[in-house]
Amino acid sequence: MSWVKDLSNHPLIASRYFFPGGRPPASRLDVPVEDAVLACGEHRVDPDGFTVVFFHGNGEVVADWQGTMDRIVNGLGWDLLLAEYRGYGGSTGEPLLGRMLDDVGAVIEAAGSPEKIVVMGRSVGSFFALEAVRRFPTIAGLILESGIADALERLLIRVSPEELGGTPAEVAALEERVDHQVKMGGYQGPSLILHTRFDGLVDVSHAERLHTWAGGDARLRIFEQGNHNSILWDNANDYLAEVAGFLARVRA
């Protein structure tokens, strides 16, 4: 069993925290990973330019963001790679957290040179954006929207330590794999952290902690409108201005 001695791949985490399925993407780029293929979305405007790699939330698929995020990012002159997860959209495989974290390397390599990449993680996508900057510390920039500071806390909302049945050492290893304080502090590049004060799913304190932990220059923007799933739509002008300004500074 793949989760023995690696609780991040425990099937209970997969079944209670991830929601696979959904329609496959258009403008598709298949990224092969260990024993699966990820059906990512690719939207290029300048093959030699900079790229945003976007990791979506656990209740979304790449196709949900096509027609929106590509217009935003491509409109700013950046390429976009919408990262898909195992079992989501047109991808094969099962959404096992540890495997998904390991898949980040292949996604970034498919996007191009880390020095010309900004990674953006929305909600649970923050797990994978932070794993990206851990693995590729020369990534040009990091954007976290409605991101999660204490990843283990979020996982244990839906599955108890007793259900996982791990030894203290195995639980400690799981906590180390998803230690966002260490990952955030280890990244020396610029960061933009976006959150709404009225997020009822991921409290605004998560954004405040992520900002405090940042190892490099970080900007925190707390919006007074919207919730976890409407932050972009309810703050469209200000949200887009923050993203555009950040990308312009990275590229300068």
Q: Could you tell me if residue 186 is inside a domain?
A: yes
List, in sequence order, every residue forming a beta bridge with 183; answer none if it has no partner: none
Helix (H) or strand (E) holding 96: none
Name the percent of the chain lying above pLDDT 90: 87
Pairing outcome for strands 79-83 and 36-43: antiparallel
At residue 243, the pLDDT reads 98
At residue 2, the pLDDT reads 44
Q: Could you tell me if residue 66 is inside a domain?
A: yes
* R_g of the chain computed on alpha carbons: 17
Q: Could you tell me if residue 238 is inside a domain?
A: yes
For 57-93, give one letter per residue: b (16+ CB within 10 A) or e.
bbebbbbbbbeebbebbbebebbbbbbbbbbbbbbeb
Q: Could you tell me if residue 227 is inside a domain?
A: yes
Q: Could you tell me if residue 90 is inside a domain?
A: yes
DSSP string, 26-79: SSEEEEEETTEEEEEEEE-S-TTS-EEEEE--TT--HHHHTTTHHHHHHHTT-E
Q: Could you tell me if residue 1 is inside a domain?
A: no
42 versus 5: the higher-pLDDT residue is 42
Segment 24-48, tens digit of pLDDT: 999 999 999 999 999 999 999 998 8
Residue 164, domain extent: 7-251
Segment 95-151, tens digit of pLDDT: 999 999 999 999 999 999 999 999 999 999 999 999 999 999 999 999 999 999 999
169 versus 93: the higher-pLDDT residue is 93
At residue 5, the pLDDT reads 55
Positive or negative: CA dihedral 153, 90, 129, 235: negative
Segment 209-236, tens digit of pLDDT: 999 999 999 999 999 999 999 999 999 9
Report the number of distinct structural domains present in the chain: 1
Contacts of 98 (CB under 8 A, 6+ apart): 2, 3, 6, 8, 9, 177
Give, as one character, the DSSP assignment of residue 24.
P
**pLDDT-wise least confident of 7-11, 18-22, 24-28, 100-104:** 7-11
